[in-house]
Amino acid sequence: MAIATASQTIGPYWHLLEDPSWADLTRFGATGEKITLTGAVLDGDGKPCADACVEIWQSNPPTSDSFPGFGRSNTDSQGTFRFTTVKPGPVAGRGNAQQAPHIALCILSRGLMKALVTRAYFQGEALNDADPLLTSIEEPARRATLIARRAGAGVWRMNVRLQGENETVFLDV
């Protein structure tokens, strides 16, 4: 059996790859409830990470020619990422479980030797109370780090705190 290749940091110069249009998952004509998912990536001192690469993946709505399900955003001088996408619906879980609507996030940056994975759920979704991941996080304050809050019409905001106070729950997948 071979063993998976080791990860190395994405470093500060990954923008050579960047196509800013990738942050808009509706650019191929997706229909559905269009939303903005935004937030800031902050370090252990609460300072913005201005050179991060944030990627999102959602399995709902299903990918199609008009919806790639995947997006990539840089972070600006305030550490802010910003995606335009379609609000996901519920997603099948393991066994008979149902997962609340969510978007997976992958944080890559200088100073991260490998990706950090987390999720954005949506404030006020009834299914949040029964979601297998959310209910497995005992401390309400920790659980809250995965909940995007309404920040205007169609705008959802969730900061990603890499370290320290209010550190985001990162996932071992």
Partner 1 sequence: MADTTGFRPYTPGTQPPYDAPAYMGTVKRHPKQRLHPLPQTVTETTGPSFSPDRFPPLTDLTNTNGKPAIGERIIVAGTITDEDGRPVPNTMVEIWQANATGRYDHAADQHDAPLDPNFHGAGRVFTDANGRYRFLTIRPGAYPWGNHRNAWRPNHIHFSYFGPAFATRLITQMYFPGDPLLAFDPIFHAVPDEHARNRLIAAFDLDITEQDYALGYRFDVVLRGRNATPMEH
Which chain residues interact with partner 1 by CB under 8 A?
1-17, 43-45, 47, 49, 51, 55, 57-59, 63, 68-70, 91-95, 99, 102, 104, 106, 108-117, 119, 132-133, 136-137, 142, 162-164, 167-173
**Residue 26 and residue 29: Cα distance in Å, rounded?**
5
Q: Which C-beta is closer to partner 1: that of 46 or that of 151? A: 46
SS3 state of residue 33 = coil
Q: How far is the CB of 89 from partner 1 (least distance, A)?
A: 13
Residues 81 and 95: beta-carbon distance below 8 Å: no
Residues 85 and 58: beta-carbon distance below 8 Å: yes
Residue that the structure tokens 């992958």 belong to:
106
Bond prior to 12 in cis (omega within 30° of 0) = no
Q: Which C-beta is closer to partner 1: that of 11 or that of 20? A: 11
Q: Which C-beta is closer to partner 1: that of 153 or that of 172? A: 172
Q: Which C-beta is closer to partner 1: that of 91 or that of 151? A: 91
Helix (H) or strand (E) holding 135: helix 132-136
Q: How far is the CB of 137 from partner 1 (least distance, A)?
A: 6
SS3 state of residue 173 = coil
Q: How far is the CB of 35 from partner 1 (least distance, A)?
A: 17
Q: How far is the CB of 152 from partner 1 (least distance, A)?
A: 26
